[in-house]
Structure 1
């Protein structure tokens, strides 16, 4: 039996083999659809349009308070991770050298529940002493999952005729914790990185905490999991196989257009190891997920600190999910 399912997923090197059909999950004929993250997450959260969907972890955590409104469950696949010190920005007239210097200032966000923002606020508070309740926070988009943000946080939506980047450049905002690169920062036109060398700061952060921040997970409709419980493991295995193909291809410098690809890869492996993209609830993922769950609860996105059992399909929590085979013989 083969079932036809839709998967909405970003087209990255880690997922490329799923998009091309090189990898097909057992028992499933996947129709893979590609959308940018904001559209993909919104369409799944608001309208439940896909059978399987790469999803913002922040929005997924916020949705768990109302599982009847958001009837899908995650598997322990994390296809997108990113260090976020490089996405903390400031107006060029501000003399701050770390986010703690933005105490009492005005900081722009995409939304309160954006996973990148959760991480950046948490890191700014824990690592650099920023009092999140002292900041005036401004968002430039609606929340995918409706939130009741605690009153201790001063959060307001900017007017529809403005955006966070324009307000940062003009000086109406002192800083921005944003999930995407800002062209004004790249071209040094009125905005810049908070850190003098964010790349080194991110490496220092990893060496100190061993956190490579999780951004996205993958969710599956509950009705499908109830009818075909084997889907969770098979989708997990397909994402794992696609990742393994990616990591193998990265070893070939001809695979990418980057001039110093091998040197960058060597450096990454020295800092992060040969596979910085593990799936499943391995110790490194459990540690980093636990930190995100702390931040989400502290920032009012969840009514309690969730456990992995509250969030993920049971089979994908099994430490032996990577596969069973004969120990001896054939």
Structure 2
């Protein structure tokens, strides 16, 4: 009787696998479990379009059990620096800061490029001023209070570099106010600050506010000044994760690219899903479409951009040491 029962064991195992009961995928290897630190939506339509299919499970990385953990960007970056996420999103300046401290992190892809206004008709990232403040030239920002959304953000470096090198602004004469974009928009409205950098959804509101005007558009000014692309954020991983699971990380990047393509092909669907969660209308979110692109890879132009950004980070004393560009991106091949 026992012998007869044993004959059923292979059949039962096969049935369990077919039904998905087994934790081992069809390829015969267990899935790699990875944590991904993200900040939900990043206030912008283009992030929603690129990520929503991954958030909803419409797209999944092959061979990877990916746990996506949302938190505000500053918290997400601190957690990456503390080694509490396998990979995640970081502003390039936060990443430079981490590497200058000797933390075991390495970038695996560029997450976001800002697009010039001529491509979209909408500022992707801009410096706004109160109309009543009488600021019609960047030089008039001296002696004023200016908001910057997180001093480790890409906006911080771009804004200061453009003001200093293109317009000759004495940065030491500016009082910088470090808050998240929604709060900076409120402070600008109330007159507590004279100008602020804004991006994403708060920028959409500022564009419709008759009391506020655009002083300069960040990607337009940066590309005109330097001829390089406007990188803002990177996908960064722990060095130990890169060494142990390069194929799994490649799978995650591939899933991110597929999620982006799904969002571009099903824009109304993904914006509707996100709008319900964020409490905005779909049409409101649509205003920012096309202002940024999420490549989830590294191209030759990106390396040229990073080289210049490293130089500015040192010149503006945002990091206290030079970094070797050749070590900043991992080769996952």
Q: TM tier, shorter chain?
A: 0.5 to 0.7
CA gap of 1:29–1:110, structure 2 versus 1, over 3 A, is same
CA gap of 1:213–1:205, structure 2 versus 1, over 3 A, is closer
Please say if 1:66 is aligned against 2:101: yes
Aligned to 2:120: none
Q: In 2, distance between residues paired with 1:114 and 1:183?
A: 19
Partner SS state of residue 61, structure 2: coil
Aligned to 1:177: 197
**Higher radius of gyration, 1 or 2:** 2
Q: How many residues were matched structurally?
A: 278
Per-residue CA deviations over 1:155-195 (Å, capped at 9, x if unaligned) read xxxxxxxx755654554533223456279846748x62342
Name the structure, 1 or 2, with higher relative contact order (CA <8 Å, separation 6+): 2
Per-residue CA deviations over 1:120-146 (Å, capped at 9, x if unaligned) read 2222223333232332323348xxxxx
Q: In 2, distance between residues paired with 1:310 and 1:230?
A: 19
CA gap of 1:118–1:61, structure 2 versus 1, over 3 A, is same
Task: Pick one of 130, 133, 136 that aligns with 1:94.
Answer: 133
Higher strand share: 2
Aligned to 2:168: 129
Please say if 1:236 is aligned against 2:243: no
Query: When the two structures are superposed, what TM-score results if normalisation uses the length of structure 1?
Result: 0.68
CA gap of 1:34–1:79, structure 2 versus 1, over 3 A, is farther
Query: When the two structures are superposed, what TM-score results if normalisation uses the length of structure 2?
Result: 0.67
CA gap of 1:104–1:291, structure 2 versus 1, over 3 A, is farther
Q: In 2, distance between residues paired with 1:66 and 1:107?
A: 28
Please say if 1:300 is aligned against 2:317: yes
Partner SS state of residue 15, structure 1: helix
> What's the CA shift for 1:64?
0.7
> What's the CA shift for 1:118?
1.4
> What's the CA shift for 1:62?
0.8
User: Does the CA contact (< 8 Å) of 1:82 and 1:215 recur in 2?
Assistant: no
Please say if 1:118 is aligned against 2:175: no
> What's the CA shift for 1:254?
7.5
Task: Pick one of 178, 182, 185 that aligns with 1:139.
Answer: 178
Partner SS state of residue 64, structure 1: helix
The CA RMSD over aligned residues, in Å, is: 3.8
> What's the CA shift for 1:80?
6.3
User: Does the CA contact (< 8 Å) of 1:77 and 1:279 recur in 2?
Assistant: yes
Question: Within 5 Å, which residues of 2 pair with 1:1-330?
Answer: 1=29, 2-9=31-38, 10-11=40-41, 12-45=48-81, 47-67=82-102, 70-79=103-112, 81=114, 86-140=125-179, 164=184, 168-169=188-189, 171-178=191-198, 181=202, 185=206, 188=209, 192-195=212-215, 206=223, 211-250=228-267, 257-258=282-283, 276-315=293-332
> What's the CA shift for 1:312?
1.5
Q: In 1, distance between residues paired with 2:137 and 2:104?
A: 40
Higher helix share: 2
Per-residue CA deviations over 1:5-32 (Å, capped at 9, x if unaligned) read 2212234211223222333333211122
Partner SS state of residue 40, structure 1: helix
